[in-house]
Amino acid sequence: MTERKARGSSVAPQRGEPVRQRVIDAAERLLRQGKAEFSMRDLAAEAGVSFATPFNQFGSKAAIMHAISAKRVELMDLRFREGAQPRSPLDRVLVAVDTAASVMIEEPVVNRSVMGWLGTASRGAGSALVRSEAYWSLALGTINGRAPARREQAVRSLPRQLAFGFRGVLSFWTAGELADDELAACAREVALAILLGVQVEQRKSVGKPARSECE
């Protein structure tokens, strides 16, 4: 049966548009309007689908938020792959930080709402950590210049540590304690601290000023 545009929907569905994508797009529109507390009924109306469709496609509102988060990580991944990638793992990670931060601040209202949802408990486990680790592993690339045992340890542990670090900075940005224009600088500080293993103020070796940018 063809889905019909429900009463109250602000955007008519495109012919042939996949239902799951229609629901995600509708959720993003509601978030852009500041309606983070939208109900599944509101979502169905906005998407132009039956009330049961969002549940049938995702199971819960939390799962929809995870799907929006996955879209953001996919966009980060795409933009990083398309851009110039330095040879140094440290420089590649800094490019990845800037890429990730730029994606998040393009839609601050939506992304802050999504991050708020990801920080709450839900019945089903999400895949945000797995996706984030994969992104930072891509950014690190090949790690050379270490003994085999230490290189293996770095490849295994650094992507997760970078995921933890970036998520931590995002949590303060989500709470409004960091402005949009502070996000990238603060995330760089954390990434440098993880990768260099030194205090972030001592950064002459990577061409950064001694004074912290994240203030």
Can you tell me the distance from the alpha carbon of 148 to that of 38, in angstroms, rounded to the nearest whole number?
51
- Which of helix, strand or coil describes residue 104? helix
Residue from 3, 15, 72, 5 nearest 45 by CA:
5
Residue from 214, 199, 76, 70 nearest 137 by CA:
76
- Indicate whether 34 and 90 sit together in one domain: no
Q: Find the radius of gyration of the CA atoms of the chain.
A: 20
pLDDT per residue rounded down to tens, the chain (215 residues): 334 344 444 555 444 459 999 999 999 999 999 999 999 999 999 999 999 999 999 999 999 999 999 999 999 999 999 998 898 889 999 999 999 999 999 999 999 999 998 877 566 556 889 999 999 999 988 665 554 556 566 667 899 999 999 999 999 999 999 999 999 999 999 999 998 863 333 344 444 444 455 76
Can you tell me the distance from the alpha carbon of 197 to that of 215, in angstroms, rounded to the nearest whole number?
20
H/E element holding 174? Answer: helix 148-174
Q: For residue 50, what is the domain's CATH number? A: 1.10.10.60
* pLDDT the model gives residue 157: 86
- Indicate whether 201 and 104 sit together in one domain: yes
* pLDDT the model gives residue 153: 65
Q: Which residues, in sequence order, are CB contacts of 115 under 8 Å at separation 6+?
A: 69, 170, 171, 173, 174
- Indicate whether 96 and 29 sit together in one domain: no
- Indicate whether 155 and 137 sit together in one domain: yes
* pLDDT the model gives residue 1: 37
Residue from 211, 207, 210 nearest 94 by CA:
207
Angle between helices 61-82 and 89-106 (to 10 degrees): 130
Is there a contact between 173 and 183 (Cβ–Cβ < 8 Å)?
yes
State how many domains the chain has: 2
The residue written with tokens 């999504």 in the block is: 114
pTM of the model: 0.80
- Indicate whether 12 and 98 sit together in one domain: no
- Indicate whether 47 and 111 sit together in one domain: no
Does some domain include residue 215? Answer: no
Which spans in 9-144 are helix H? 19-32, 40-47, 53-58, 61-82, 89-106, 108-118, 128-140
